[in-house]
Structure 1
Amino acid sequence: MKKPELLAPAGNWEALVAAVQNGADAVYLGGKQFNARRSADNFDDVALARAVEYAHVRGVKIYVTVNILLADTELKEAVRFLHTVYNTGADAVIVQDLGLIRLARRVIPELELHASTQMTAHNVPGALFLRDAGIKRVVLARELDLKSVRAIREKAGVQVETFVHGALCVCYSGQCLMSSMIGGRSGNRGRCAQPCRLEYRLVDGKGKPVADYEKVGDYLLSPRDLNTSGHIPELIKAGIDSFKIEGRMRRPEYVATVTRIYRTLIDRASRGEEYNVTGEEIGQLAQIFNRDFTTGYFFGVPGRDMMSYKRPNNRGVRLGRVRSYNRETGRAEIELEAPLRVGDGIEVWVTRGGRVGIQVSQIFTGGRKTLCAESGTVVVLELKGHIRPGDRVFKTHDVQLMENAVKTFSSSRETRRIPVDFKVQARVSEPMVLEATDPQGVTVRATTRAAAEEAQKRPLTREFLAGQLDRLGNTPFGLNKLTCELGDNVMVPVREINDVRRRVVEKLSAARAALRKPEPLSEDVVERKLSAVMDEEIERAGSSFPVLAVAVGGAAEVRAAVKGGAGLVYFSGDRFRSRGNVTASEVIKARRYCSEAGVKFYLTTPRIAHDREIEQYLPFFKSLLEAEPDGIMAASCGWLPVLRQLTGLPLATDFALNVFNRQSALFLMEHGVSRVTLSTELTGEQIKQLAGSAPLETEVIVHGALPLMVSRYCAVGSVLGGKGENSNCSGQCRGNTFGLLDRKGVIFPVEMDQHCLMHIYNSRELCLLDTLPYLVQAGPAVLRIEARRENEFYVARTVKTYRQVLDGLRKFPDRLPDLQAIMEKLVEGGPGFTRGHYYRGIMD
C-alpha cells in the first residue's frame, strides 16, 4: 500500500521539534499573522526560516497556514508574506481566501497552494474547481465518508488531505458565523471563541425543554475528539495522500505523543501485516487528551455517538471509583483501574458540585507511602470536597507519559536519525577524504586539514573509524554503512577525524536544507507583479439604484414577496422539514407569477451537497429549469462547474462563498459569475469600498435571521429521534419547530433540511433598515431580505416596509423618513434585532 504522509501541527518551536522527532513527514504551522490559530505562539519570519531549515535537514516538509479571509487593505501584505514563505523554501501554503488564490497564482505561480478545510470542499465538482484554480491539494471537509473521499481522490485528480485525529468542529469549517455574530470573534479570522462548547438545551417552538438533561447532558453542540487509530488500513486504501493531526493550540507533549503513535500505526499498516492497535497505544491517546473518541463521519453519520454531551473538555482516562471516603481525614479509598504515580493529575466527578481535581502528592497502599501503584491496587488519596462513595475518578495528567514526551523535544540527542553512508580514503602524506551520502543521494566531502602519517604503533582500521564516525549523537544523522580505502600502515589523529566528521555533517545539513529551497524571487519582481495585478484596470459594474431581493422557501412566500414590491425573488434550494416539501409544479407556478409581475426569479442551490446528494437533486433541479428562471444562485464553489454544464443562465453566488475582498469578486467573475453576495462579516465602510470597486454586481444581505451554523450532526435527530451509529432517526423534526436554549436564556432557532443537515439561526434578526441611505449610495446592485424559513406574513410585512423606504429614498432623497421609528415598528414583537458587523466588523 502507498504510505500516506503524516502531517502534524506546530503552534510553537517545541511542538515543531516534537512533531519532527516523533516521526512526522510534514508539519503545518502559522506565521504571526494571517492564520486561523491566532492564539498560538506561531512563528515570526526569522523563526519560520529556521523552522523550514530544521525540518528540511531532517527530510520533513513545512506547510504554512494563511487560512483566513483577508480584507482589501491586507492583500498586498499577505502576498508579501507569501513571498517570504516562498523564499524560505516552505513546501506549500494552506489558503482559504479566493482573492489570495488569485493573487498568488499571478504573482508567485511557483508557490504550491493547498486549499484549507475552511474552503468547505466536500464533493468532486468542488475539488475539480479548486484544482483548475491552481490548487495542488485539498484539505477535505471533515463530514465526508471514506467512499466519498476515495471518489474525490480518483475523479478530481488532486491530492487529498483529511484529519485523522483531534478536535472536531460541529459546523462545516468555513461556514460558521456563531462566534462571529455572538461575540465578534470570527472563526474566519482565526479568533473562534468556541461557543459550541458551551451549554445548550433543545427546546420546542414554545421554548420548552424537550428532553431530560440530567440524563442527556447539557453540551449538545460539543463533539468528541476524532480518533481513527483503529482504522488506518481503511484510510490508506481510500487513497488519502496526507493524514492530518489537529492541534496547533495543543501542548508539544500532545503533538509528540499523538505523532509518535500514528507514525507507528501507519508504518505497521503499510507493512501489510495483521493490523492492531495495542492497549498501551489506545491508553496513551486517551490519556494525552480526549473528550471521548469518535471516528467522525468516515463510516457514516454517527449522530449522538459523535457527541460529548456531558463534558466539553478533557476527560482523561478512568482511574476507578471511590470505595469509601472519610470526611474527617479527607482521605478516599480507590481501587485503581489504571496505574497511578505521584505527580499525576486526577479528577473526581462528584455527585454534587461538579469536579474535584488535584495533583497527587501522596499515595498510600496498605498504610504505607508509595511513589506509584499498579492497576488493581487499592490506594488511599487525600481529597477535599463533596466526595461520596461511588463517585468516578479519572486521571487527567500522566506525569510519566508527559516526561517521556518532553524528552523527545528537549534533549540535544535526536530520536529521529537519517541513515548516512560514509566513505573514507586515507593514504600516507595525503589528507584523509571523508565522503557522506544520504538516502536521497546527496553527497558531500571534506578532507582533513593535515596529511595522514605513517603509523608508529596503531594503524587506522575500519573498526576504529566506525567508532569515531558514529559519534553523531547531537546531529540528525546516524551511521548506516562505512566503506574504507586505507593505505598501508596509515594513521590520522583522532582530533582530525572528529574535525572532518563535524565539517562533513555541517555540509550535509546545508546541502539537505538547500535541496528544496528554490531560487529566491527578488522583491522587485514580486512588487512589480503585485502592483500590476492589484492596479489592473477592470471596468467596474455600472451603479444604479439597488434591486430589492427576497430569498424565500415556498410558493406562498413568493406571492407575498411580489405583492410587497420585491424586484427579485430567490427560491431556496434547501427544503426545511418544518415546512414540508415543495413540488416542481409549485415552483414553476411561482416563477410564472413573478414573470407576469415583471419580477426576476432565481433558483438557488442547496448550501451543502455531497456527491450523492447532487446526484439525487439534479433530476428535480433540471425539471425546475423548464420554468426558465432568470438565473441561478450557487451556494458553494462546487455548484459552479455543475451549473455551467447544465445552463447558460446568469450565475450569482451566495454569502457562503465568503467574498471579503475585490480580488475574490474578480476570481469568481473569471469563473463565469455575474453577481456575488458579499460576506456578512463586512462593515458598512468595507461594503462601500468593495461595491464601489467590484467589476461585477454585488449583493448585500440587509435583513433576516442569518444561519450561524450548518452541520451534518442534527441535535433534534440525535436527542429526540434516537439517531446513533447503529440506529436511524425517527423523524421528530417533520412539521415541528425547535431551538437551542443557551445558558443566558437565549434561543437560537433550528431547522433541518431535506438531507438532514441542521441549520442554526441567530437569535436576533439582522436589520439594516436605518442604514439604507448609506447602502444605497454605496452602490450594491441588490439588497436582500433573507426569509427562507419565514412565512408569507413575515415576508409581506418586511418586503413592504423595505420597499416603502427604498422608494422614498429614490423619489425624495432630501426628505428622509424617520427610519428609526420605521425600524422599531418592523421589529416590534420579534426576537430582537442586530446590525451584525455593519459597525463592528471582524478586523482586529
Structure 2
Amino acid sequence: MELEVGKVQKPELLAPAGNMEALMAAVENGADAVYLGGKLFSARHYADNFDDQEMKEALAYSQPRGVKIYVTVNTLLDKRELESAVRFIYRLTQQGINAVIVQDLGLLKILREVLPQLEIHASTQMTVHNSAGCRFLEKHGVKRVVLAREVSLNNIKNIRQKTDIELETFVHGALCISYSGQCLMSSMIGGRSGNRGRCAQPCRMTYRLVDEKGRELTDKTFGLHLLSPRDLNMLDCLPQLVEAGVRAFKVEGRMKRPEYVATVTRIYRQVLDRYWENPEHFFVTEREQKELEQIFNRQFTTGYFFGNPGRDLMSYKRPNNRGLFLGRVTGYNAGTKQAIIRLEEPLRRGDGIEVWVSRGSRVGTTVEEIWWKGQKTEEAPAGAEVVLPLTRKVEKGDRVFKTYDRELMARAHKSYSGPGSRKIKVNAMVRAKEGEPLRIELTDPAGRKASAETQFLGEKALKHPLTEEVIRRQLERLGNTPFELGHLEAEIIGNIMVPLSEINKARREAVARLEELRAEEVRLPTVPRAEFEERLQKVLVEVSDQKRPRTKPLLSVVVGDIASLEAALDSGADRIYFGGEQFRSKPPITNRELEEAVEKCRALGKEAVLVMPRIWHEDQVASMVSDLRQVATWHPDGIMVGNLGSLQLVRETCPQIRIFGDYPLNVFNDHAALFMAEEGIYSITLSPELNFEQLKELSLPVDISLECLVHGFIPLMISEYCAVGAILGERTEGTPCRQVCYQGRFGLKDRMNFIFPLESDQYCRMFVFNPKELCLIEDLPLFMDLGINSLRIEAKKESAEYVRRVVTAYRTAIDEAWQLRKDKGTLTKLKEELEKASAAGFTKGHYYRGVL
C-alpha cells in the first residue's frame, strides 16, 4: 500500500505530562505535541499539573523544539468559575499555547465569542461518537474532536468521510469502563466528580455479580474487579488508524511517572516513523511490546476498535500494574528463606518482582541478591534457574512477574535528564574581520535565520589568531538548547583576534533569537487586552440577573413500557418521556404502540416526548434518521436528546419538532444553558451534580424552560461492556453472548454490600444504577421558588406499580407545595410512605452537598 500525499496525513503523536519532568520525557522521546493541565480546571486534578511559571517553562522548552502544547480545561465549570477560566485561558494564549481542550459547553460558547482565534479541541468528556456530533462542534469553530474510546475503526472511517474536523483517538493507556462524560458513579457515591477532575476510580474496586435476590453468581477464582478494564495498546494497529484518517494518536497518562511517558512515547514514535517510511514492511518488534508491557500494564486490549471484546476487555483479577511475566517458582527453602525461580526473561539486581501465590496475598520484593550456578551475580539470563531471598513462603508453580525493570527505567530517565537527544541541526555562517564585529548567523532546517554580533571589534592577533576550528568549538557548545551544529561556513579575513567570551555571548544571543522565531511560528495570534476585556464583559452580561418567578412545575416521568406510561397518565403526570433505550427486563415496545402512546397522551391533554438513545454510533445513523422521520409523522410534543449528535440530527432531519435536552448534555452553568437555548432546545434538564446553592445563582431568562431530577434510581454509568453478558453470557472477542440478561435481573454488590442494579438495552449496553433512590419530595417548595419549570421522576426500569405509587405521591406533593403552606407535614408523610417501599433507602443526591 502506498500512502497518497494529500489524502492521508502523518498523525500527530500526542503525549501526556503531569509535571515538567514528564513533559521533558515526552519531548525528548519524540512527541509532536504534549497535553497538560494547569493548576485549575483540569480533568486530572490529582496530577502535579503546571502553575504559571511552570507553564512558561514548558512552552519555552517545547516550542523551540517544534512541539505543541495543548492545555486541558476539560471539566464542568460552575458559574462563578467561568470568568476565571476564561482569564486563565487568555493568559495561556498570551504565553503562546497552541490549543485548549474543553468539555463545558458554556466555556465553549464564551471562548468562541471572546477568543475567536483560539484553537479548541473537544475533550472525550463531551462523549462525541458520531459524525453529527462532529458536525455540530465543527459548526461552532472546534478544530479537533477527541472521539469516545468506544468508537470502532469502521465508524471512524465513516465519520472521517462526513466531516472535515480533525479526529483524535486514544492509542495507549488506561480505559474508562463508562463512556467518558457520562459517569456519575464516583460523584454520587463518593462526592468526587469525574466531570470535575476528581474521579475516585470506583471501577477499579471489587464487586460481586448477584441476582435479584442478592445471591452471588461468581466466585473469587473468577476475579472480583468486575468493572476494571485492561489497558489499551494499539501499537500493532497503527496502520489501520492512519488509513482511517485519524489525525492525532493520544497516549493516556497524566498521572503516570516520567519514565512511563518516556518509554511509551519513544516506542510509538519509532513504530509510527517506521510505518510512515515503509508502509509495505510494517512491523513491531517483540522487544517493543515487552517494554510496553514492562513499564505498565493491566494486560492489554485493543478496546472497541474491532468490535465489543466482552470479557477480553477486562482485568478481573488485578486493577493495577501486573508487570512482565518472569517465570515460575520451582522450589522454596523455608530454612534459608530462599525461592528458586526458573526465568523466562532476564533478571537484574535492583529489579522488582511479585509472586502471585496460590494462597494469601501477593508477595513483592526488590531483588537484592541473585544466585545462579552457586555464584552471586548481578544479572541472570532467560532460561536460568536462580535463587532469590524471599522471606514469605511461596509454592512450587506460583507465577512470578517483574514489576520494575531497573535498566529500562534508567534508560528512560537518561533520555530526558541529560542534555537531550531531540536536537535540531542548524547551519552557521560566521564572518570576522579586523575592525568589524564578529557576526554569527544560524539557519534551521526550515530556513529560519537568526543572527547576532559581538560588541567587540576584531583586532589584529598578536599570538593566537582566530581559526575555523576555534569557532567550531565555541558554536558546538549548545548544551541544553534544542540545537546542534551542522555545517559551518567561516569567513575569517586576516589575522585577527576576538575574545572567546564575546563569541559565546553572540552565540547565545543568536540561539535565543532562533528559539523565539521557532516558537512564534506555532503560536496563535493574540487579542489585545483591551479588546479581550470588552468582549468578555459583553458576554458576561448576556446572563440576565433577573430572578425567575415562583413557578408551579410540571410533573415529568420517564417510563420504560406501555403499562408504566398508562400508570403515569392515570396518576397525574403532565409530561411523559418514552422510547429510546429498551431495557431487556421490559416487554419490547413496537412502533405502533409508541404511536398509540402519543395519541393517548394527546387525548388526555398531556405532553408526549419521544426519547432518542443516549448513545448511537455511525453505523446506526440510517436507522436513527428513519426513526426520526417516522416519529415526526406522529406529531409528538417533542424529542429528547442526550448527546450533541442527536441534537444535530434532529435539527437536520425534523427541524419543526421541539427539542428537549436531557441531563447527559451536562448543562452545569448559565452559559451552557444559553448555548443550548440558542441551539433551539426548548427545555433543558440541568446536571444532577448541581446543588441548591448553584441553582439559586442561575440567572436565566424565563423563556428558557428548566427541568430537574427529583426522584428515582439514577443511572451512574453507561457502558458498551456488559458485565452480565461477559461473565454469565460468556461473551468474548470471538464468542457471542448467550443473552442471559433475558433470564432475570442482576446487580453488582460492592464492599459495603450495596447492590447497584444493572440493566441491558437493545444495543447490549449496560446501565449501572445508583442503589439509593433519589427523593426530593420534601424539597419541592425550593424548586418552585427557583422557578424550575418541570420536575422529573426517573422510572425507566421500574414497574407500573412503582410509577403509579411515586407519581401519585408527587402529584399530591406539587399541588400541596404550590399552596404556600408552611407546614411540611403532608410532604413528610408522603416521603415516609414512599420510603417504606424503598429497599436501599433514599438519597438527596447532590442537591445539598454538590461537587465543588
State the TM-score, normalized to the length of structure 2: 0.96
* Post-superposition offset of 1:557: 1.0
Equivalents in 2 of 1:245, 1:707: separation in Å? 29
1:134 aligns with 2:119: no
The residue aligned with 1:155 is: 162
The letter for the 1-side match of 2:102 is V
1:63 aligns with 2:78: no
The residue aligned with 2:827 is: 819
The residue aligned with 2:648 is: 641
The residue aligned with 1:76 is: 83
Cα-to-partner distance string for 1:307-349 (whole Å, 9 max, x where unaligned): 1011000000011111000112110000111111111111011
Q: Does structure 2 retain, via aligned residues, the 8 Å contact 1:425–1:484? A: yes
Equivalents in 2 of 1:834, 1:386: separation in Å? 47
Q: Secondary structure of 2:290's partner?
A: helix
The residue aligned with 2:372 is: 365
Matches within 5 A, 1:196-207: 196-207=203-214
The letter for the 1-side match of 2:736 is N
The residue aligned with 1:714 is: 722
The letter for the 1-side match of 2:512 is E
Structure 1: gaps of 5 or more residues: none
Q: Does structure 1 retain, via aligned residues, the 8 Å contact 2:707–2:792? A: yes
The residue aligned with 1:571 is: 578
* Post-superposition offset of 1:67: 0.4
Q: Does structure 1 retain, via aligned residues, the 8 Å contact 2:549–2:786? A: no
Q: Does structure 2 retain, via aligned residues, the 8 Å contact 1:123–1:638? A: yes
1:483 aligns with 2:489: yes
- % same residue: 50
The letter for the 1-side match of 2:273 is D
Equivalents in 1 of 2:484, 2:557: separation in Å? 68
Once the two structures are overlaid, the 10-residue window that deviates more, 530-539 or 201-210, is 530-539
Equivalents in 2 of 1:676, 1:121: separation in Å? 19
Equivalents in 2 of 1:497, 1:528: separation in Å? 48
1:671 aligns with 2:679: yes
Q: Secondary structure of 2:61's partner?
A: helix
The residue aligned with 2:223 is: 217
The residue aligned with 2:477 is: 471
The residue aligned with 2:847 is: 838
* Post-superposition offset of 1:202: 1.5
The letter for the 1-side match of 2:260 is Y
Cα-to-partner distance string for 1:568-593 (whole Å, 9 max, x where unaligned): 00113111112132101111111121
Equivalents in 2 of 1:374, 1:126: separation in Å? 53
Equivalents in 2 of 1:450, 1:733: separation in Å? 85
Once the two structures are overlaid, the 10-residue window that deviates more, 776-785 or 806-815, is 806-815
Q: Closer, same or farther in 2 for the Cα pair 1:537/1:474, shift >3 Å?
A: closer
The letter for the 1-side match of 2:420 is E
* Post-superposition offset of 1:517: 4.1
The residue aligned with 1:239 is: 245
Equivalents in 1 of 2:69, 2:729: separation in Å? 45
Q: Closer, same or farther in 2 for the Cα pair 1:540/1:510, shift >3 Å?
A: same
The residue aligned with 2:659 is: 651
State the TM-score, normalized to the length of structure 1: 0.97
The residue aligned with 1:186 is: 193
Q: Closer, same or farther in 2 for the Cα pair 1:497/1:35, shift >3 Å?
A: same
1:505 aligns with 2:498: no
Selected match of 1:777 from 774, 782, 785:
785
Q: Secondary structure of 1:638's partner?
A: helix
Equivalents in 2 of 1:730, 1:255: separation in Å? 40
Selected match of 1:112 from 101, 119, 128:
119
Selected match of 1:338 from 335, 345, 357:
345
Once the two structures are overlaid, the 10-residue window that deviates more, 456-465 or 639-648, is 456-465
Cα-to-partner distance string for 1:418-441 (whole Å, 9 max, x where unaligned): 111211223344332211011233
Q: Does structure 2 retain, via aligned residues, the 8 Å contact 1:691–1:778? A: no
* Post-superposition offset of 1:812: 5.5
1:535 aligns with 2:541: yes
Q: Closer, same or farther in 2 for the Cα pair 1:47/1:695, shift >3 Å?
A: farther
Q: Secondary structure of 1:751's partner?
A: strand
The residue aligned with 1:795 is: 803
Q: Closer, same or farther in 2 for the Cα pair 1:379/1:36, shift >3 Å?
A: same
Equivalents in 1 of 2:752, 2:584: separation in Å? 28
Equivalents in 1 of 2:97, 2:702: separation in Å? 33
The residue aligned with 1:758 is: 766
* Post-superposition offset of 1:625: 2.9
Equivalents in 1 of 2:393, 2:832: separation in Å? 51
* Post-superposition offset of 1:70: 0.6
* Post-superposition offset of 1:537: 6.2
Q: Closer, same or farther in 2 for the Cα pair 1:342/1:804, shift >3 Å?
A: same
Structure 2: gaps of 5 or more residues: 4-8
Matches within 5 A, 1:230-379: 230-273=236-279, 274-379=281-386
Superposition CA RMSD, Å: 1.9
Equivalents in 2 of 1:695, 1:423: separation in Å? 69
Once the two structures are overlaid, the 10-residue window that deviates more, 498-507 or 792-801, is 498-507
The letter for the 2-side match of 1:260 is R
Selected match of 2:14 from 7, 14, 20:
7
The residue aligned with 1:703 is: 711
Q: Secondary structure of 2:171's partner?
A: strand
Q: Closer, same or farther in 2 for the Cα pair 1:507/1:537, shift >3 Å?
A: closer
Equivalents in 2 of 1:636, 1:540: separation in Å? 29
Q: Secondary structure of 1:698's partner?
A: strand
Once the two structures are overlaid, the 10-residue window that deviates more, 456-465 or 803-812, is 456-465
Once the two structures are overlaid, the 10-residue window that deviates more, 146-155 or 593-602, is 146-155
Equivalents in 2 of 1:584, 1:418: separation in Å? 64
* Post-superposition offset of 1:634: 0.8
Q: Closer, same or farther in 2 for the Cα pair 1:491/1:154, shift >3 Å?
A: farther
The residue aligned with 1:388 is: 395
Equivalents in 2 of 1:25, 1:806: separation in Å? 58
Selected match of 1:548 from 547, 555, 558:
555
The letter for the 1-side match of 2:257 is R
